[in-house]
């Protein structure tokens, strides 16, 4: 038995998305990596802002990550860790009237960042065609407005398999 041989050139490398975040049976219908971007510009001092993303009517969206980059609206300085940001987040789906939390939580407990993505502890949340994914942010800071670049990352799927096993 010989030693493993390292590839000799870039032509031997291919990109393959990590499909382990898809629920069982989704792989044959996997379409493409996809991100919904929700840009919260100027979340007001001691106020709230709500945005939503709508899944295309012909596809399903499997959300595997929630990420946020929080920056001071006036200076543009980025809060290095979302755990330090005085912003609360609520995550729900208005189409199915589904709430994923019983109350708002600090953004760092639910979201990762561009440097440290926030993956789900188990496989992704599945959103059906036409579903509205709703994110509400509340600014706890009495003196600063915040900009939050929020992404829901995951996969688009053509259709659901006949049987789902989670």
Residue 77 falls inside a structural domain: yes
Residue 137 falls inside a structural domain: yes
Q: Are the CB atoms for 38 and 21 separated by under 8 Å?
A: no
Residue 123: per-residue pLDDT:
66
Residue 41 falls inside a structural domain: yes
d(CA 161, CA 66) in angstroms, rounded, equals 25
Q: Please, where are the H alpha helices in the chain?
A: 107-110
d(CA 88, CA 108) in angstroms, rounded, equals 9
Number of compact structural domains in the chain = 1
Residue 124 falls inside a structural domain: yes
Residue 1: per-residue pLDDT:
35
Residue 16 falls inside a structural domain: no
Q: Are the CB atoms for 163 and 83 separated by under 8 Å?
A: no
d(CA 104, CA 90) in angstroms, rounded, equals 5
Residue 27 falls inside a structural domain: no
Residue 152 falls inside a structural domain: yes
Residue 14 falls inside a structural domain: no
Residues spanned by the domain of 55: 37-157
Tens of pLDDT, residue by residue over 128-139, are 888 999 999 999
Which CATH number do you get for residue 94?
2.60.120
Tens of pLDDT, residue by residue over 139-165, are 999 999 999 999 998 888 876 655 555
pTM greater than 0.85: no
């Amino acid at each position: 038995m010989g030693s493993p041989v390292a590839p000799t050139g870039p032509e031997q490398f291919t990109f393959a998305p990590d499909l382990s975040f898809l629920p069982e049976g989704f792989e044959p219908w996997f379409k493409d990596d996809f991100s919904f971007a929700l840009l919260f510009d100027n979340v007001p001092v001691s106020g709230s802002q709500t945005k939503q993303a709508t899944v295309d009517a012909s596809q399903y969206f499997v959300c595997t990550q929630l990420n946020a980059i929080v920056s001071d609206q006036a200076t543009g300085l980025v809060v290095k860790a979302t755990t330090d940001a005085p912003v609360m987040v609520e995550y729900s789906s208005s189409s199915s009237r589904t709430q994923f939390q019983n109350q708002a939580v600090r953004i760092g407990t639910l979201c990762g960042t561009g440097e440290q993505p926030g993956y789900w502890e188990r496989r992704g949340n599945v959103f059906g065609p036409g579903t509205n994914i709703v994110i509400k942010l509340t600014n706890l800071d009495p003196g600063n407005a915040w900009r939050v670049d929020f992404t829901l990352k995951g996969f688009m799927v053509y259709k659901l398999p006949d049987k789902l096993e989670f």
